Amino acid sequence: MTQINQLMAAVIPVTPFAQNCTLVWNDETKKGVVIDPGGEIERIQQAIDKHGVTVERILITHGHIDHIGGAADLAEKLSVAIEGPHEADQPLIKHVQVQAAQFGINGQVKPIVPDRWLVEGDTVDVGGFEFQVLHCPGHAPGHVIFYNEPARFAIVGDVLFKGGIGRTDLQGGDYEELMRSIKEKLLPLGDDVAFLPGHGPGSTLGEERVSNPFLQE
C-alpha cells in the first residue's frame, strides 16, 4: 500500500495477467476511486471493504480486456459512473468479448459504455484530490494516465513499467508513438514522480530515466 500525505493507494492484482487494479482514496474522508477493474470484482470489493472506502467512480486507463473486464459489473454493483479512457479506444472496448476469447479469459465479459470520455487537459476527482489527465497513446490509441502534481504521483497503466514499456504489438499499438508519450508526456513531469504501472512494481520516473533499457536509446 502507498501513502502520500492523505492520499492512499492499494494495488489489487486481478486476472491471469496480474493486472494492477488500484484503489485510490482520501484517508481522511475515505472517499475514492477504483482504477482499471479488469476482473475478479469480489476481490476488489474485499479490498474496498477492508479499507472502508466509499467508491465514487471508476477510472479506466485504456480499453484492453485485463483493464476493463470487470468494470461494467463493478459499476453496476456500486452504482457509480465510469470515466475514461480517451474515445480513441472505443473500437477496442466495442470488441472486448473478442479480446476475451483471444486471451482465453473465461466468463461473461461486458463492454463498458463510459459516462465520460477523457481528453488531454481534463481532470478527475479522486476523493477530493485533483488528478490531471494526460493522453498517452502507443500501447493503445486511447490510453490515458492520471497524475496528481502536489503528491508527485501518477497511475500510468501500461505506458511505462519498472524496467520496461507497454507492448506495441496489439491492436492499435505503435512503438514510436509510445516512446513519444513517455519522453514528451511522462518524463517531463520530473524525476521525483512516483508511479504505479498496470503490471508489476512501482518505480519513479527518475529511476526509469537512468536504468530502463528502453529509455537509453
Cβ atoms of residues 2 and 24 within 8 Å? no
For position 101, what pLDDT does the model report? 65
Strands 123-126 and 81-83: unpaired
Measuring CA to CA, how many Å separate 147 from each of 112, 141, 144, 194? 23, 19, 10, 10
**pLDDT, tens digit, 9 for 90 and up, residues 79-104:** 999 999 999 999 988 877 667 666 66
Helix (H) or strand (E) holding 11: strand 7-14
Question: Which secondary structure element, helix H or strand E, spans residue 46, and what is its range?
Answer: helix 41-51
Q: How many CA atoms lie within 13 A of 4 on its CB side?
A: 16
Per residue in 149-199, pLDDT tens? Answer: 999 999 999 999 999 999 998 888 999 999 999 999 999 999 999 999 999
Distances (CA, A) of 98 to 64, 70, 108, 137: 11, 15, 12, 21
pLDDT class of 201 with cuts at 50, 70, 90: very high
pLDDT at 172: 85
Domains of the chain and CATH, by start: 2-215 (3.60.15.10)
Q: Note the pLDDT of residue 107.
A: 58
Q: Tell me the per-residue pLDDT of 38-63, one tens digit each, with 9 for 90 and over.
A: 989 999 999 999 999 999 999 999 99
pLDDT band at residue 71 under the 50/70/90 scheme: very high
Average pLDDT on 109-121 reads: 90
Mean pLDDT across the chain, nearest whole number? 92
Strand arrangement of the beta sheet that strand 7-14 belongs to: 2-4, 7-14, 19-26, 31-35, 54-59, 81-83
> Could you tell me the pLDDT band of residue 212, with boundaries at 50, 70 and 90?
very high
Give CA 161 to chain center in angstroms: 12
